[in-house]
Amino acid sequence: MIVAGIHGNEPIPVKYLKSRGIPFTLGNPRAIKVNKRFINNDLNASFNTVGFGYEYKRAAKLLTKIDSPVLDLHTFSCKSKPFAVITSLDYLDMAKTMGVRHVVYMNMNIKGGHSLIDQVGGVSVEVGHHKAEESVEQLEKTIECFMKGIVTKVKVYEVYQKIYQKRKYVNFRKYGDFYPVLAGEKAYKFLGLKARLM
């Protein structure tokens, strides 16, 4: 099952899937409509939690509609190569069919275990920048590889800590004993994540 639009400021996957007539579940329709990341709370940190606001209600409803495993499509605001995210190594083989070269295992879970893939299992794919044409090209590759089961050779990184030292990082380039992931992403309060090759 494919999900897109969990964050309202990530419309490229939604537009792409609609334009190709590919069935998917729209994550956060209200936020997509107003082009905001979320209305009250990050939907991708609201699954299987108790709280008030639109996203908590939407998360509960989505869990009744979504089958496992899920392919959850996203874009980002930082400079980075596209990558897949897993929160369980049980989905590593699935991640290898996403048409990306980098797979990030979120062993240190930044969503506190309340992301969509934490709850239903599957893979999130960060296909590219919010506004980049390359994001569409990666979407095409990801969907094709996923549908046909085409396996890509990948590097697997395990996230183990947040980055605290300010510096201009290049994601997936080695700095001492770690590789930065999501460095420069505006959606989070931290500077990025430290990961090591597995």
Average pLDDT, the chain: 95
Q: What pLDDT, in 10s, does the model give residues 97-136? A: 999 999 999 988 788 789 999 999 999 999 999 988 899 9
Q: What is the mean pLDDT of residues 134-154?
A: 96
Residue 138 has what pLDDT?
A: 96
Q: Distance (Å, rounded) from C-alpha 49 to C-alpha 27? A: 16
pTM of the complete model: 0.95
Structure tokens at 192: 């990025």
Q: Coil, strand, or helix at residue 146?
A: helix
Q: Per-residue confidence at 188, pLDDT binned at 50, 70, 90? A: confident
Which of 142-145's residues contact partners 24+ apart within 8 Å by CB, and which partners? 142/71, 142/73, 142/82, 142/98, 142/99, 142/100, 143/2, 143/20, 143/22, 144/99, 145/97, 145/98, 145/99
Q: Per-residue confidence at 52, pLDDT binned at 50, 70, 90? A: confident
Residue 189 has what pLDDT?
A: 85
> Helices in 125-181 by DSSP H: which ranges?
133-148
The domains located in the chain, with CATH, are 2-156 (3.40.630.10)
State yes or no: pLDDT of 160 exceeds 90: yes
State yes or no: pLDDT of 68 exceeds 90: no
Q: Distance (Å, rounded) from C-alpha 47 to C-alpha 60? A: 7
Q: Distance (Å, rounded) from C-alpha 185 to C-alpha 21? A: 30
Q: What pLDDT, in 10s, does the model give residues 79-102? A: 999 999 999 999 999 999 999 999
State yes or no: pLDDT of 67 exceeds 90: no
- Amino acid residing at 181: V
